């Protein structure tokens, strides 16, 4: 196999063994929170990365959950606002994966050009804030209208041909692991995460529960006996605290974090009111 003039005939047996271990670990996972640390640990080790980002929702410069793991840490990291903004802008991956059917792993320097990438505002900001200057995008092969996948950060030299080959070989496994995590997310949890862990107040938690049942703002206001304006204020607080941008991503994020056990079925009267119009 030829990568930029350098021949890489195959991956070492140890790489495939790690992939097999990852597959077994994912199948044995009991909830989504068990899946992502396994993936981050494997990708960061095999690709000599320092930071892994997971993208599973639409990003805009102003919003969208950015989940990050640092090498050697079992828990997700919280990025600074400026670093998160640059990452959400997606340069140069958004312009490539968002406009072409290509889903092969690519580096930022490969897409934008080494010189253009290093001089870009994104690269400068990430060097200053995260200490990294190289990125490798690994999109999921079939991610629908919203491109999903992973971005590996590191400092120093760009990713080698053998590392890109590994990224291409592990792609199908990552797609299956993401599907397994979504399946686990739909399963009812035996224990719920304490909402206070994410700074949610009892009223915000109640609004979140009503939101998961599919109620519009007017329906939430009626159920909780508060004004519609207050509902919108609570929704904005939920978006900020859960790092989301809309109602759907908020419910999905809350389910992933264990703040919701499962989507609550709407009562027949509420369902008929929702079909009549958005109502807020």
Question: Nearest to residue 67, comparing CAs of 146, 147, 144, 151?
Answer: 151
Q: What is the number of other CB atoms lying within 10 angstroms of the CB of residue 247?
A: 17
Indicate if the pLDDT at residue 68 is higher than 50: yes
Phi, psi of 6 (to 5 degrees): -110, 125
Name which of 2-6, 147-151, 229-233 the model is least confident about. 2-6
Note the pLDDT tens digit of each residue in 87-124.
Answer: 999 999 999 998 889 999 999 999 999 999 999 999 99
Task: Burial-class residue 149 by CB neighbours within 10 Å (0-12, 13-18, 19+).
Answer: buried
The model's confidence at residue 277, banded by pLDDT at 50, 70 and 90, is very low
Question: Nearest to residue 222, comparing CAs of 261, 269, 275?
Answer: 269
Proportion of the chain above pLDDT 90, given as a percent = 53
Pairwise CA distance, residues 55 & 64, whole Å: 9
Mean local confidence (pLDDT), 58-86: 85
pLDDT at 7: 58
Residue ranges of alpha helices (H) inside 29-160 are: 32-46, 81-89, 93-97, 108-112, 114-119, 121-130
Residue given tokens 């989940």 in the structure block: 67
Proportion of the chain above pLDDT 70, given as a percent = 86
Comparison of pLDDT for 142 and 119, the residue scoring more = 119
Mean local confidence (pLDDT), 68-76: 87
């Amino acid at each position: 196999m030829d990568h930029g003039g350098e021949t890489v005939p195959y991956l070492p047996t140890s790489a495939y063994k790690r992939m097999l271990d990852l597959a077994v670990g994912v199948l044995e996972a009991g909830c989504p929170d068990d899946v992502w640390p396994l993936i981050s640990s494997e990708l960061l080790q095999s690709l000599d990365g320092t930071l892994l980002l997971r993208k599973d929702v639409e990003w805009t410069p102003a919003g969208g959950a950015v989940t990050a793991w640092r090498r050697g840490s079992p828990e997700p990291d919280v990025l600074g606002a400026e670093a998160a903004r640059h990452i959400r802008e997606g340069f140069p991956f958004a312009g490539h994966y968002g406009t072409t059917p290509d889903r092969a792993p690519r580096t930022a320097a490969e897409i934008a050009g080494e010189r253009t990438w290093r001089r870009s505002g994104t690269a400068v900001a990430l060097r200053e804030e995260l200490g990294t200057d190289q990125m490798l995008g690994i999109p999921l092969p079939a991610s629908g209208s919203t491109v999903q996948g992973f971005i590996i950060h590191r400092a120093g030299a760009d990713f080698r041909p053998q590392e890109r080959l590994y990224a291409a070989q592990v792609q199908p496994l990552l797609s299956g692991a993401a599907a397994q995590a979504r399946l686990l997310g739909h399963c009812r949890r035996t224990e719920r995460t304490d909402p206070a862990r994410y700074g949610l107040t009892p009223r915000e938690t109640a609004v979140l529960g009503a939101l998961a049942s599919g109620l519009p703002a007017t329906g939430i206001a009626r159920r909780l006996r508060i004004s519609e304006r207050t509902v919108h204020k609570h929704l904005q607080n939920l978006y900020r605290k859960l790092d989301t941008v809309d109602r759907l991503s908020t419910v999905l994020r809350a389910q992933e974090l264990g703040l919701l056990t499962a989507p609550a079925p709407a009562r027949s009267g509420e369902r008929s009111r929702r079909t009549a119009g958005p109502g807020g």
